[in-house]
Structure 1
Amino acid sequence: MVASTAWVAIAVAVPLLAALASLWQGRWTALIVAVLAIPGSLLANVGVVWTVFELGVHRHPVGGWGAPLGIDLHVDGLAAAFLALLALIAAVITVHMLVDPDMRALSPRRRSLFWSLWYLVWGALAAMFVSGDAFNIYVTLELATLAGVILVSFGHGTTALFASMRYLLLGTFGALSYVLGVALLYGDTGTLDLALMAERIGSGAAPVVAAGLVTVGLAVKAALVPLHVWLPPAHASAPAGVSAILSALVVKAGFYLMVRFWFGPFVQLDGATWTVLGILGAVGVVWGSLCAIRQERLKLLIAYSTVAQVGYLFLLFPLVAGGAHAAAWSGAHYLALSHAAAKAAAFLAAGNILTSQGDDRLSMIARAARHHHLSLLAFGLAGATLMGLPPSGGFLAKWLLVTAAVDTGQWWWAAVLIAGGILAAIYVYRVVRLAYVTSPAEPPGSTGPPRPPGLLPVPMVAILAALALALLSVVLGFASAMPLRLLEIGMPAVVPPEPEPGR
């Protein structure tokens, strides 16, 4: 394979072209588009990763016009890793949704709209991960958000509609905050390119206010506590595949962009902000876990778990500020990758149970266990990653973060990581116990009641899709050498300033 900067443009173009092709309301359109888009996207992303290993950090000028007059696609190890994981997870979820009985039951018009929006989310995220321009980031992030809002409304009943409206309102607030911050930055630096912005940014009040506005906007997108209230109802009400992509990668976009800004243009601004982000992340770990423990519906439990798992990622900022640069960088981003695979698997498994049983209440899990051994196995494997049990990818990532905290004397962040793992074990064990411990109301050896009539069986392909992503989250604990080496390519060498005395 030839190393070429053009691979990144292909990786972005394939899902966007698939979104346009999906508007055709043919009987086999969804299948044909998927058969063409999935291999094309995977091949392009293999090319992107190969090029990063061969050439290192590079830029691809769109249309031959680079910054500052044109637009550059910026590709380093972090972008390549997120881009490749997006293609892999989105491909598996696409296969799951192709055979999902709920998706097949849609009218041709609604099915066409669904698939077009689905590929639009995929393409917008791909473009966002490699964008080096603050305004293009805004455009792609809002494309993903607005398409995601409509996809959430494809869930059943008015609950999904209200959840999508809440998502829209808070997402709009986040977008407004972000774009106002970008406007201030443009006024201060005269550019929208992040690299040039980092060179020109001043030290007055305007950059500080801009940083605050951008951070608040991205915190909404990342569902960082206390700006997380849109996430649980949206993720719990959406179709299973939509919940999977939202939790796995859409919320990661806010964190990813926060890293791009605070390790780029904002790196020399007030160092106290890094600690504040860590504190909010720690609160999110505890609050999200406690809420997950209290839930009586499986999808809501998984959704609140996402709030907790996102909190871990923001521990990167205080750990780096405290001197744990390389280990914290690798650990936080490897946790994001591992969590993406695990959470997509968990939501697909929950969706399989809901489709077959018509109910995802935990009190009904014992009945589901007799018909969904593989789906519950997928949930258990994903849960091992969420808890951070060896040999999963979650264990390796949390080990790196704990090591970074201990080596730099920041033991309180290590305590948060360990406590979060214990709380995750509690809510995962709740599901496992209800699934595999015989209910007192049934005699030992009972096969339980049959599956409720009138509900369609879940195809084996959908079950294997959830299991494949769960296995991926575990395999990341073994096959870690190449992903970790990829994440180090282009890792920022700059360190934020110490907080001012008395602050």
Structure 2
Amino acid sequence: MPISDVSSLLPLLVAIPLTGAIFSVLINSKHGQVLTGLLAALSLALVICAILLGLPSEGLQSTTAFRYPLAGWEAPLGIALSLDGFSALLLTLTTFLVTVLTFYSAYYFSASPARVRFWPLWWLLVAGINALFLSADVFNVYVTLEIIGLAAVALVALSGNKAGLTAALRYLLVGLLGSLCYLMAVALLYHLYGTLDFAQLAAKAESNPLSWAALALITVGLVLKTALVPLHFWLPHAHGSAPAPVSAILSALVVKASFYLLVRFWMEILAPAVTNDALMLLGILGGLAILWGGIQALRATRLKLMVAYSTVAQIGYLFLLFPLLMSAEGTSASQLAAQHQSALAAVCYFIVAHACAKAAMFIAAGNIIHSLGHDDIAKLQGMAKYMPLSLFTFAIAGGSLIGLPPSAGFIAKWLLLNVAIDTGQWWWVVIILTGGLLAALAIFRVLDLAFIKPEQASEQVAPDNWQKVPVAMPLSGLALALCTMALGFNADLIIDLITIGGGE
């Protein structure tokens, strides 16, 4: 497929979910909204498949090879959409997860009055995520961040209870503060360089005080949205209080969107302003997140809260990318480029592994709440007898988060360990292994109650105290959990994709 044909498909990735949101408002019937959602998900899947089939197998030589100027106006007068291997990977991941979660949501909200508000907000959120991954303009990214933030806050508030509304309000205030920091940086960059286009900024960027200030503001704003320790205080309760499919997409995709932007700014757009000390600082915060999130997950009394704190820990692994980008004295340009590519490949693999595993775990937790009306860990004794598929899903996904072979989580951590050792930063090996141990303790604590102690179930869970969930709901989570295993056998798929646009 010619490059122009692939580029012309990019706007559809935003237009389809926007159309789904509009039709979800116009169609107020239960079956009509579900049908609209499934058609939108299928359409997105077809478009992303066409794009992937059009990518050259030998890789591209420019990050802007797939570029679509909106209304025919190129930068700096117009706004363009662009695609490279990194964004293509995240768009593919988004489409896959949205398709599964849309199918799951059709059953999850089937008897809930919240479905009327859920579907338009759901597709607005998806449109914002896709637009962010495609954006090649700094201000356009701000617009997409606002769309994502407002839709995500409204989805968190769908639970309707006091905890959910409080978490949504906290999420809103944090999101607005993060966006304000980012917008101030946009103004600085435009004043300094006279353009907001990614490629043009990357070509003009210099190491000077204003560039440092802009990068600092962008980093603070995006770190708030990514929930890196110590700015993570909003995430556990927002993810823990939201409906299950909302928790899944927030953990799997929304926090990854702001991290994606951080990588773009630190590795490409404002790379001349980056220093080794700043890279190490982000790595230290990532290491603290791994330890703190793991400890809090181990102490949590609610299942969804435990999974949410696990997200805090897993985010920490992503930030280990930055110190692994540090350039040592005497390193040649080609060696540094290979080092960057290896580190990015490890983190990209980790993003995919974590997204599938965490979405599966939130689905499993949602099924348990749907059946029991609670997710109190102490009262889950013997639940495997009544919900074997959901607990099996939780176990498989948990194994990937721990890093057990042959899961995708194992491959991701193995790649991270290799880069840490190759760059002589052995201390990250200790952090990674300790984080895996804490994750294992938290997950096996739940499995111990659910699988190992069925004889106590009669005291805690009686058959008349739980409701059976439609089989499609646990199967949705199981499909995602099994994907984490399948990806463990197909590492080349992800690594080959992200090399597109990475050539020199």
Specify the code of the residue in structure 1 equivalent to 2:475: L
Alignment of 1:72-471 (within 5 A): 72-100=80-108, 103-107=109-113, 110-271=114-275, 272-322=277-327, 323=336, 324-438=339-453, 441=456, 449-453=461-465, 456-471=467-482
Q: Tell me, which stretches of 5 or more residues in structure 2 are unaligned?
A: 328-335
Measured after TM superposition, the shift of residue 156 of structure 1 is: 4.5
SS of match in other structure, 2:386: coil
Alignment of 1:476-495 (within 5 A): 476-491=487-502
Moved more, 366-375 or 172-181: 366-375
Measured after TM superposition, the shift of residue 452 of structure 1 is: 4.7
Aligned partner of 1:9 in structure 2 is: 11
Contact between 2:349 and 2:412, CA under 8 Å: does it hold in 1?
yes
Moved more, 110-119 or 3-12: 3-12
Measured after TM superposition, the shift of residue 265 of structure 1 is: 2.2
Moved more, 2-11 or 413-422: 2-11
Match of 2:485 among 469, 474, 491: 474
Q: Tell me, which stretches of 5 or more residues in structure 1 are unaligned?
A: 494-503
Measured after TM superposition, the shift of residue 141 of structure 1 is: 1.3
Measured after TM superposition, the shift of residue 315 of structure 1 is: 0.5
Specify the code of the residue in structure 2 equivalent to 1:450: A
Aligned residues: percent identity? 44
Show CA shifts across 1:6-32 (max 9, x none): 222112211111011100212422222
Contact between 2:396 and 2:481, CA under 8 Å: does it hold in 1?
yes
Cα distance in 1 for partners of 2:278, 2:95 equals 33
Cα distance in 1 for partners of 2:274, 2:494 equals 32
Cα distance in 1 for partners of 2:396, 2:30 equals 36
Aligned partner of 2:41 in structure 1 is: 38
User: Residues 329, 486 of structure 1: CA spacing in aligned structure 2 closer, same or farther, 3 A cutoff?
Assistant: same
Cα distance in 2 for partners of 1:142, 1:452 equals 45
Aligned partner of 2:333 in structure 1 is: none
Measured after TM superposition, the shift of residue 447 of structure 1 is: 9.9
Cα distance in 2 for partners of 1:367, 1:163 equals 31
Measured after TM superposition, the shift of residue 481 of structure 1 is: 1.3
Instruction: Show structure 1 runs of 4+ deviating over 6 A.
Output: none
Aligned partner of 1:499 in structure 2 is: none
Measured after TM superposition, the shift of residue 198 of structure 1 is: 1.4
Cα distance in 2 for partners of 1:410, 1:452 equals 55
More helix by share: 2
Contact between 2:228 and 2:289, CA under 8 Å: does it hold in 1?
yes
Measured after TM superposition, the shift of residue 204 of structure 1 is: 2.6
User: Residues 218, 448 of structure 1: CA spacing in aligned structure 2 closer, same or farther, 3 A cutoff?
Assistant: closer
SS of match in other structure, 1:53: coil
Cα distance in 1 for partners of 2:282, 2:461 equals 49
Contact between 1:120 and 1:147, CA under 8 Å: does it hold in 2?
yes
SS of match in other structure, 2:153: helix
Specify the code of the residue in structure 1 equivalent to 2:357: A
Moved more, 240-249 or 427-436: 427-436
Specify the code of the residue in structure 1 equivalent to 2:47: A
Contact between 2:383 and 2:451, CA under 8 Å: does it hold in 1?
no
Specify the code of the residue in structure 1 equivalent to 2:125: V
Cα distance in 1 for partners of 2:184, 2:436 equals 38
RMSD: 1.7
Contact between 1:52 and 1:58, CA under 8 Å: does it hold in 2?
no
Measured after TM superposition, the shift of residue 476 of structure 1 is: 1.0
Measured after TM superposition, the shift of residue 51 of structure 1 is: 2.7
Measured after TM superposition, the shift of residue 196 of structure 1 is: 0.5
Contact between 2:345 and 2:498, CA under 8 Å: does it hold in 1?
yes
TM-score, normalised to structure 1, is 0.93
